[in-house]
Amino acid sequence: MALKCGIVGLPNVGKSTLFNCLSNAKAQSANFPFCTIEPNVGVITVPDERLNKLAELVKPERVVPTTIEIVDIAGLVKGASKGEGLGNQFLGNIRETNAIIHVLRCFDDDNVVHVDGSVNPVRDKEVIDTELQLKDLETVEKHLATVQRAAKTGDKDAQKKAALLERFQQTLLQGNSARVIELEEAEKPMVKDLHLLTAKPVLYVCNVDEGSVVTGNVHVEAVKAAVKQENAEVLVLGAGIEADIAGLETYEERQMFLEDLGLKEAGVSKLIRAAYRLLNLQTYFTAGVKEVRAWTIREGATAPQAAGVIHTDFEKGFIRAEVIA
């Protein structure tokens, strides 16, 4: 199940530092390797204590964790929706992802230049939102013009789609993202082919200084207030701390470092799991002496569908499942 999360943010917010931490296997709780597909794309394992416990019990020849793909999308800037800089390329990269991890700078440091001259994560969020919304508005209006012509001929399906596209148009014109629109099941197929950027689920990551990792700060509180209506998750971590953790050689050193900071685990591990939830994924396991493996399924998948992830024949010939809890 090749699903991708794209990491976005303005330049110098710590986005690439986080990606580099993800790219370091030592930053993860389990010793599974990170695989680089391209310079800005990696496949990372999802930390799961249940898999580790199963492996301890069964002692298999190999352990196979579940994975997700992370794409480091170069820093977006104002005007990206109109092709400024490498805007079209960046927006195209976002379109290919299933969910967005939006990194926001929530720390003050005169030695780290901000592209707009001051630290204001809510403003930064709005810059990115605006660029994505403008691109979506362009997409919606282009499709709407075509659908409206068909609707005028009496095409009932076109009339329904036109009405839905007009809802998206008005939402975007008001400065809101497409994800705030609650769609009925029958409406979802109508807009699936649009691949709207702001319809993708989003996780906001507040990149803070060392002193704010546990308690947060005023910048974090401002972000939480700004995203409240989106019903989006906000994760607080320090990219600088994560880089320090990634540089430590042993598991024991990393645990001591975390304890000194009052943390139970690395922020990167929390980020990976949050990204997994963002994609509406869940895990089930198979265990045997040859292999203990984690399998990825969509939340709400049935037992036959879960079996089909292993092999389609298992789904077709499914009889029953025995569950051990």
- Helix or strand run (H / E) with residue 71: strand 67-72
Instruction: In whole angstroms, give the CA distance from residue 116 to residue 123.
Output: 10
135, 197 contact by CB (below 8 A): yes
Q: 271: which 2 tokens?
A: 């980020």
- Scored b (16 or more CB within 10 A) or e, 280-309 reads ebbbbbebeeeebbbbbbeeebeeeebbbb
pLDDT for 86:
47
- Name the more confident of 297 and 247: 297
220 pLDDT above the threshold of 60: yes
199, 99 contact by CB (below 8 A): no
Closest-CA residue to 138 (of 78, 178, 182): 178
pLDDT for 325:
67
pLDDT for 28:
41
Per-residue pLDDT of 159-218, as tens digits, reads 999 999 999 999 999 999 999 898 998 898 888 889 999 999 999 999 999 889 888 999
Per-residue pLDDT of 40-85, as tens digits, reads 888 888 888 899 999 999 999 999 998 888 888 876 666 655 655 5
Per-residue pLDDT of 268-315, as tens digits, reads 888 888 888 888 888 999 999 999 999 999 888 999 999 999 999 888
Interval 219-241 mean pLDDT: 90
Interval 215-236 mean pLDDT: 91
36 pLDDT above the threshold of 60: no
pLDDT for 80:
58
pLDDT for 76:
65
pLDDT for 34:
45
pLDDT confidence of 152, banded at 50, 70, 90? very high
- Which ranges constitute the DSSP H helices of 24-65? 49-58
Q: What is the pTM of this model?
A: 0.82
Closest-CA residue to 272 (of 37, 48, 26): 48
Q: Which CATH superfamily is domain 4-316 in?
A: P-loop containing nucleotide triphosphate hydrolases (3.40.50.300)
Interval 82-93 mean pLDDT: 64
Per-residue pLDDT of 14-32, as tens digits, reads 888 888 887 664 434 333 4
Instruction: In whole angstroms, give the CA distance from residue 43 to residue 22.
Output: 9
- Name the more confident of 149 and 82: 149
